[in-house]
Every structure is written in C-alpha cells, then in structure tokens.
C-alpha cells in the first residue's frame, strides 16, 4: 500500500475540505465583505458547492479510466457530503444575508428569480443522497438505493440551469462550470470498459 494513502491522510483531507468554510467564517467575522456581504458570500459558497459536486461526480469515471486511482473511492461519500455541506452554507447565506429570514421577502424573490427553484431541487436531491448514504439506509433500501442514487445525474443539470438562468452580464462562472459538470456526467452515463 502506498504510504501516502494509508488512511492516516483522512484527517488532512478533512482539514483541506474544511478550509473554504473556515475562510468564509473568518471573512464573515472580520466584516470583510460588509456592508453588503450577501452577493460575495453567495458566490463563494456556490462556487465551492459546485466544485465539490464536480469532484463527487468525477470519482467514478476517473476510477474506471485509471484503476490505480481507486483509492479515491474511499472519499466518494465524503466528497458528496461536502458538496451538500457547501450547498447548505449557500442556502444559509441566501436566507440570512440575502433575505434576512423574511418569509414575505423570499416569496416575492421567488417570483423574480425563477433560477432559485432549480438550485432548490439540486439541493433537495443532494439532501436525499446525503441521508441515504448512511450505512443503515444502504442496508434498508436494498435495490431501491441504486434507483435513488441515480438522481445524482440530475444534480449537475439542475445546477447548470441555476447558473445559466441567472446570467446577466458576467457569464464566467456558468461558462467554467459547463464543461466541468458535463464532461464527468458524460463519462458516468457512457459505459466504460473496466480495466
Ligand atoms: C435552495 C437552494 C439555492 C438557493 C436559494 C440559491 C440561490 C442563489 C442566488 C440568489 C444566487 C445569486 C446570488 C447573487 O446575486 O450573486 C445564487 C448564485 C449561485 N449559486 Fe445558488 N442557490 C441554491 C442552490 C445552489 C446549489 C445547489 C449550487 C451548486 C451546487 C449553487 C451554486 C451557485 C453558484 C455557483 C452561484 C454564483 C453564480 C454567479 O455568480 O454567476 N446554488 N444562488
């Protein structure tokens, strides 16, 4: 076994995945983006959620293409949970910084920004995948587990709809994430020979 991947690396991986979150907490407490922090926090948390989503859907095709990367399988669930975690931070930024937890404001916002629905459904699927990824759920769901986990294919499509739908002038983020999300999705759908 490669010494680098002897499971002791797990805590380093955990810390690395946590760094963007710590950075967001630090930025928030230091008032970095104040007086108008909603947009930067939503963009940063959204980008990290999307990046972990890219990583999460890339592991299966990467391992199929290159067998000696199979150590990554160990982190598949963890990466998926991290994507869910950052999507949750993104939602929290929306509710707290954008909407100030005002129900009326959110209802009105939903009539103006329809792209929120696609983001919401992507987050809902990530939530379902997160709770059904627990060992006990895998056992209890049996063959239905696979059916439920096929929902993962919908998430990149919903996120891309979320990104392109909200484009006004700057389409950089949507443009970058289009190949980043579609290429691994394509390789997941395409049956690859096992080597
Ligand atoms: C209930 C769920 C969600 C809500 C309410 C939501 C809401 C929003 C809003 C209002 C913006 C625009 C912020 C601004 O004005 O700058 C935004 C941007 C963004 N969202 Fe979401 N979103 C949700 C889910 C997601 C998910 C699941 C992802 C990715 C996994 C995501 C990724 C992004 C990204 C990357 C941006 C920045 C896009 C840009 O600036 O071009 N969102 N979201």
pLDDT band at 9 (very low <50, low <70, confident <90, very high): confident
Share of the chain above pLDDT 70, in %: 94
84 Cα–ligand 1 center, Å: 13
Question: Can you give the residue ranges of every domain in the chain?
Answer: 9-190
Say yes or no to pLDDT of 98 above 60.
yes
Say yes or no to pLDDT of 171 above 90.
yes
Cα 178 to Cα 68, 81, 101, distances in angstroms: 27, 22, 31
Say yes or no to pLDDT of 130 above 50.
yes
What confidence score (pLDDT) does residue 1 get? 45
Say yes or no to pLDDT of 194 above 60.
no
Taking 3-state DSSP, the helix, strand and coil percentages for the chain, each rounded to the nearest 5, stand at 80, 0, 20
What confidence score (pLDDT) does residue 6 get? 64
Ligand 1 binding pocket (C-beta < 6 A) is 39, 42-43, 46-47, 49-50, 53, 87, 90-91, 94, 98, 113, 116, 119-120, 122-123, 159, 162-163, 166, 173-174
3-state SS, residue 183: helix
Q: Is the distance from CB of 58 to CB of 179 less than 8 angstroms?
A: no
pLDDT band at 192 (very low <50, low <70, confident <90, very high): low
What confidence score (pLDDT) does residue 7 get? 72
Write the Ramachandran bin of 142: left for phi over 0, alpha for psi from -120 to 50, otherwise beta: left
**Rounded Cα–Cα distance for residues 87 and 98 (Å):** 15
pLDDT, mean of residues 27-33: 95
Instruction: Give the residue from 75, 60, 81 showing the smallest Cα distance to 128.
Output: 81
Say yes or no to pLDDT of 180 above 70.
yes
Say yes or no to pLDDT of 158 above 80.
yes
Q: Mean pLDDT, the chain, as a whole number?
A: 93
Least confident of 7-11, 153-157, 185-189: 7-11
Contacts of 181 (CB under 8 A, 6+ apart): 50, 53, 54, 57, 156, 159, 160
- Kindly state the tokens that stand for 90: 């993104």
């Amino acid at each position: 076994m490669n010494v680098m991947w002897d499971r002791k690396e797990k805590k380093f991986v955990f810390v690395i995945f946590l760094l963007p979150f710590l950075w967001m907490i630090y930025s928030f407490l230091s008032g970095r983006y104040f007086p108008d922090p909603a947009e930067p926090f939503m963009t940063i948390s959204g980008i990290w959620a999307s990046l972990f989503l890219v990583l999460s859907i890339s592991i299966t095709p990467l391992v199929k293409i290159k067998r000696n990367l199979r150590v990554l399988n160990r982190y598949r669930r963890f990466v998926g949970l991290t994507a869910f975690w950052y999507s949750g931070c993104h939602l929290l930024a929306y509710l707290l910084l954008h909407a100030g937890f005002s129900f009326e404001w959110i209802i009105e916002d939903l009539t103006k920004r329809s792209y929120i629905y696609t983001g919401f459904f992507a987050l809902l699927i990530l939530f379902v995948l997160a709770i059904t990824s627990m060992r006990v759920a895998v056992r209890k769901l049996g063959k239905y587990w696979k059916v439920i986990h096929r929902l993962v294919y919908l998430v990149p499509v919903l996120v891309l709809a979320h990104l392109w739908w909200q484009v006004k002038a700057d389409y950089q983020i949507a443009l970058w994430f289009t190949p980043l999300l579609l290429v691994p999705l394509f390789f997941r759908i395409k049956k690859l020979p096992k080597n």
